[in-house]
Amino acid sequence: MIEAVTHLFSRLCGQNSDHTWAPGGVSLPCCQRCTGLYAGAAVATLLLLWLRPRLSKRFLAAHGACLLSMLPFGLYWIPQGPMLRATSGVLFGFGVAVFLWLPLAARRDWASHPRRFAAGAHACALLSTIALIPLLASWGGIGTAYVLAGWVCVGAASLLALVLATLLAIAWTPRP
């Protein structure tokens, strides 16, 4: 299974073996940054669907900063190891998911009934994901490799679904 997923992700990720975790001796299908990105996107998408946070200026500014944080990390302006690569990926995944969510949130049926404390839960999930991904990847076994590979697949599917839903929402938005 991981071989097929690795082949699929070879189109999306450089798969630098020096930057790829191998829990239990099984290489993950993408590098540490992409693992963080897809895991972050999966968690963020699930939270957006469940919590439907109010997309305040502060919330959007925080997620805009998550997107901008990729600049120094992605361009290697800062020396980084596995933790920073994964962290920058998670931050970027959360940011991308939130901004792809905007056209959906603008629709009244999706934006209704935001959950109380949604922004706080969102922040806790972000920090937990940042801590959990490297921890699992570094100290997990073969089962962890399959769980993380599945998480990566869910994240990629989440981003694809958000892109498609966003395009549909934009296409079906009535023009004044």
**H/E stretch holding 22:** none
For the chain, what are the domain ranges? 2-171
91 closest CA partner among 37, 158, 45, 151: 37
Q: Which residues contact 32 (CB under 8 A, 6 or more apart)?
A: 19, 20, 21, 82, 85, 86, 89, 134, 137
Per-residue pLDDT of the chain (176 residues; tens, 9 = 90+): 778 888 888 888 888 989 999 999 988 999 999 999 999 999 999 999 888 888 889 999 999 999 999 999 878 898 889 999 999 999 999 999 999 998 888 765 555 556 666 778 888 999 999 999 999 998 889 999 999 999 999 999 999 999 999 898 888 877 76
pTM of the model: 0.89
Q: Tell me, what's the pLDDT at 74?
A: 79
Q: Tell me, what's the pLDDT at 61?
A: 95
Q: Tell me, what's the pLDDT at 110?
A: 52
- Enter the tokens of residue 140: 């997990």
Q: Tell me, what's the pLDDT at 109?
A: 57
